[in-house]
Amino acid sequence: MKAPHYPFLDLKIINAPYMHEIEEAVRNVVTSGRYIGGEECERLEEALKVQTGAPYAVGVSNGLDALRLILRAWVDRGDLKKGDEVVVASNTYIASILAIIDAGLRPILAPVDMSTLNLDTARLEESLTPRTRVVMPVHLYGRACWDNQLKEFVEKNQLLVIEDNAQGIGARTTTSGLMGTHVTGGLGHAGAFSFYPTKNIGAVGDAGAIVTHDGDLAARVRALSNYGSDRRYHNIYLGGNCRLDPVQAAVLNVKLKDVDLVGEQRRVIARIYDEMICHKDIEKPILGGEDMVWHQYVVRSQRRDELREYLSAAGVATDVHYATPPHQQPCMTGVDYVAVSDALLQAEAIGGSVLSLPISACTSETDAREIAAIINQFQ
């Protein structure tokens, strides 16, 4: 098949400017003879602390494990009991839900703000029950899910906040986080990062991290990620092996320093789409400012599939994030979750209409203008 003229994402192109530094960093790991933990992992953790303003960071194997380990540590410590409820937007990626279920907790699929496609912070009270203990804001598509309403809700009800920051790295909020910082990941009690290769800052394999304001939680996550051991051959928890790979850490240390640049480059493309796309059947995302790092630029259309085919024929590759919402996935049959009001209908409406346009470093400003012009000619 012919490669599209406007690729959606080409990781070779994304990583090309870093190749020299990546090769050197990886060679250093290999020649060091230390292949588990070590300096590169520590450097990445330090960089994440600086980036988010959170005082503790722990590198882990991937974003799902980052979420899982935080929730598991809270359960182990007695902050949460099995069956306690975690409020999360109904249209999130399945990983958010899998982590909640894995920890023995109950997902509350909450209403979505249809203008931001994030948790509807004006409707949080609808999700509240005597078992509500946690809110999981997901910074979906790179849009920070954080405002005064959310902050006041969690403070008033003394809830824990775990941010799913898999897609939001680098986003800055105007409302301060619970501890006074303004960068996603560090806003709540703990934040989970994914460095999956396609993420804004991506590894060359799986990788993830947690950041937190809670030193004991960080120590527990570190132990849980390393067979539950607090020191060599001394196992205090029934842990697993979910450690960050130093080769991935080395790659990420090269790329993470550009996190703000990546966000800004994507904002430039988003502004072009926003200015130029004008079509009666296509709804654009609201623009925002530094609270958006545009992991995806997602338009909505009732004619999504037709639009996608048209764009494909015109050489524009697109993607869909995500056609099938979590509650409709086969694995959810028999799972104990709660759907709040119209939240599932909203997730289905979103799944049937969203289309992600190219917005990575593979898309130049000229490309974006041309793509917008092609979209405007959709009949």
Q: Which residues bind ligand PLP (CB under 6 A)?
A: 62-64, 92-93, 95-96, 138, 164, 166-167, 194, 196, 206, 208
Q: How far is the CB of 63 from ligand PLP (least distance, A)?
A: 2
Q: How far is the CB of 144 from ligand PLP (least distance, A)?
A: 13
Q: Which is nearer to ligand PLP, 63 or 185 (CB)?
A: 63
Which residue has the CB atom at the shortest distance from ligand PLP?
63
What does the alpha-carbon distance between residue 224 and residue 238 come to, in Å, rounded to a whole number? 7
With CA atoms as reference, report the closest residue to 100 among 298, 300, 336, 288.
Answer: 336
Q: How far is the CB of 140 from ligand PLP (least distance, A)?
A: 6
> 179-216 b/e with 16+ CB inside 10 Å = b?
eebbbbbbbbbbbbbbbbbebbbbbbebbbbbbbbbee
What does the alpha-carbon distance between residue 316 and residue 207 come to, in Å, rounded to a whole number? 30
Q: Which is nearer to ligand PLP, 80 or 99 (CB)?
A: 99
Q: How far is the CB of 169 from ligand PLP (least distance, A)?
A: 11
Q: Which is nearer to ligand PLP, 120 or 206 (CB)?
A: 206
Q: How far is the CB of 314 from ligand PLP (least distance, A)?
A: 28
Q: Which region, left, alpha or beta, applies to residue 136 given φ > 0 means left and ψ of -120 to 50 means alpha?
A: beta
Give Cα 357 to chain centroid, integer Å. 18
Q: Which is nearer to ligand PLP, 140 or 375 (CB)?
A: 140
**Joined tokens for residue 116:** 């931001």
Q: Which is nearer to ligand PLP, 164 or 291 (CB)?
A: 164
Q: Which is nearer to ligand PLP, 262 or 307 (CB)?
A: 262
Q: Where are the beta strands (DSSP E) in 155-207?
A: 160-164, 190-194
Q: Which is nearer to ligand PLP, 163 or 370 (CB)?
A: 163
Q: How far is the CB of 9 from ligand PLP (least distance, A)?
A: 14
Q: Coil, strand or helix: which one is 349?
A: helix
Place of tokens 């799986």: 206
Helices (H), the chain: 11-15, 19-32, 39-52, 63-77, 94-102, 148-156, 215-224, 246-255, 259-276, 304-313, 343-351, 365-376
Percent helix, strand and coil across the chain, each to the nearest 5 = 40, 15, 40
Q: How far is the CB of 198 from ligand PLP (least distance, A)?
A: 8
